[in-house]
Amino acid sequence: MFKEILVIDDNPDIRFLICNILEEQNFKVRSAANYDQAVLEINKRLPDLAIIDIKLDKTDKDGIDLLKLVIKNDKLTPVIMISGHATVQIAVEAIRLGAYEFIEKPFTKEKILNYVKRGLESLSLKKEKDIIENKLFHSFELIGESQASLKVKKIIEKLATSESRVLISGPTGSGKELVARKIHKNSSRSKEPFVIINAAILREKTYEKELFGEEFEDGNISFGALERANKGTLLIDEVSEIPYETQANVLRVLIDQKFKRMNGSKDINVNIRLISSTSRNLNVLVKEKKFREDLYHRLNVMPIELTSLSSRTEDIPLLIDYFKTKLSEINGVQKPDIDIKNDSLYTYNWPGNVRELRNLVERITILSSNESKEKISKIIDDVLNPSSKIQDNKDILELSFQSPLKEAREHFEKEYLTTQLKIHHGNISKTADFIGMERSALHRKLKSLGIKGIN
């Protein structure tokens, strides 16, 4: 299929020259001779790549405004900016706003073709990456026949015809984002954007910018999550982490369905479905005055509670079969022979829940798919029971059996996390990724267990 390129330049000679060069290389070419025509062409259909002259026929609008329009519609579309009058400052600004490349006039045929081919290759790689990521996560199904799993599936089905706000609560790695995606996919907004903002990883001073966007003195705009999700669904992950002061502004948006960008004076109207998720108990936070009660009630119209994997172990065989089939297909290897009767799979606490199980199956699928069932079981035992090498240590066993359940669990978690940190040389990010926990959640867990550092 031929790639389509949109050429925008008000100089007919240059526009004709560029179009000819591209058509000789069998590209499908559209062109626009002025600003208004360019807006019509962009809104009609986004090209695979755009070539835009900075100086056009309007005095108050130029190619930079068209660049913003393309990026707003699809940030992956490569845009090559051209100009014979631009300053270094304008070139830098174009790149900062998302342009793939900037070319000064006059330019050679070889130069323009080189940038076009590189831009399209970049687009292809980005789309390929998105496809892989979609296969790895976004296309995963909700697997499970336990009572808890069936209950969640029924709620999602009922929400298909609803516009209600949803609050998904559950431990880290239990599938909150996946549930949110399924709700969006089943809704009437499925063809519109699904935008995620993770409140747990934002710096305190960036929440409002990330949510509402920002206007700059030079007229540039940074679009926030609310605006990017317009007509679609916005998932605020770990909503409990939004600062108390910002919560009032979020509440105002839910009431008015409009907001102002930071440093902006104009109201921006939005039509979004809001889904929130949390791994913390918002009721407790409300009582502690750390989360606004009025916002909590606005978010909690339709609650969905996800349970831990250790409380629904009957789903583990189904999940393993699903993950090994899916991951072996994605990675182009044979399915590993995992013994689903291995006791370790059911006695292990799974602090990272389904995500941790998926990571384990993926590791086995990629590194050990050709191993025997016995060898794979040994790998599972070593991963899930890092203290099994010291099973003969009577003191540890006696400490566990003589302690209350809470203390025994804390003791195990401390041993497990300490061992994993040593394996990953104290790297928090790698440890969190391997065990299937959010980095922020792992930090909180280490702090609660008194684990300060690993040498």
CA distance 367 to 358: 14
Number of residues that this document lists for the chain: 455
pLDDT at site 397 = 47
From-to residues of CATH 3.40.50.300 in the chain: 149-307
The pLDDT assigned to 70 comes to 92
- Bigger pLDDT: 398 or 250? 250
State whether CATH 3.40.50.2300 applies to domain 4-134.
Answer: yes
For the segment 263-304, what is each residue's pLDDT rounded down to a tens digit? 988 899 999 999 999 999 999 999 999 999 999 999 999 999
Q: What is the pLDDT of residue 216?
A: 82
- Give the Cα separation of 2 and 410 in Å (integer): 60
User: Tens digits of per-residue pLDDT, 119-155?
Assistant: 898 888 777 666 555 555 445 788 999 999 999 999 9
Task: Note if the pTM is more than 0.95.
Answer: no
**Domain formed by 149-307, architecture:** 3-Layer(aba) Sandwich (3.40)
What residue ranges of the chain are covered by domains with CATH 3.40.50.2300?
Answer: 4-134
| Per-residue model confidence as pLDDT tens digits over 297-330 | 999 999 999 999 999 999 999 999 999 998 888 7
Alpha carbon 104 to its chain centroid, in Å, reads 36
Q: What is the DSSP letter of 338?
A: -
| Parallel, antiparallel or unpaired: strands 49-53 and 79-83 | parallel
Please tell me what DSSP assigns to residue 134. I
The confidence score (pLDDT) of residue 167 equals 97
Mean pLDDT of 13-35: 94
Q: pLDDT digits over 225-243, tens only?
A: 999 999 999 999 999 999 9
Q: What is the DSSP letter of 262?
A: B
Residue at 109: amino acid letter: K
Residue-wise DSSP of 267-278? EEE---EEEEEE
For the stretch 381-386, contacts whose Cβ atoms lie closer than 8 Å and that sit 24 or more positions apart, written own/partner, are 381/342, 381/344, 384/344, 384/345, 384/348, 384/360, 385/344, 385/348, 386/415, 386/416, 386/419, 386/420, 386/423
List % helix, strand, coil for the chain (3-state, nearest 5): 55, 15, 35
Rg (CA), the chain: 27
Q: What is the pLDDT of residue 137?
A: 47
pLDDT, average across residues 173-183: 93
| Least confident range of 205-214, 251-260, 395-404, 444-453 | 395-404
- The answer, yes or no, to whether residue 425 has pLDDT greater than 80, is no
Tokens representing 304 are: 């969905």
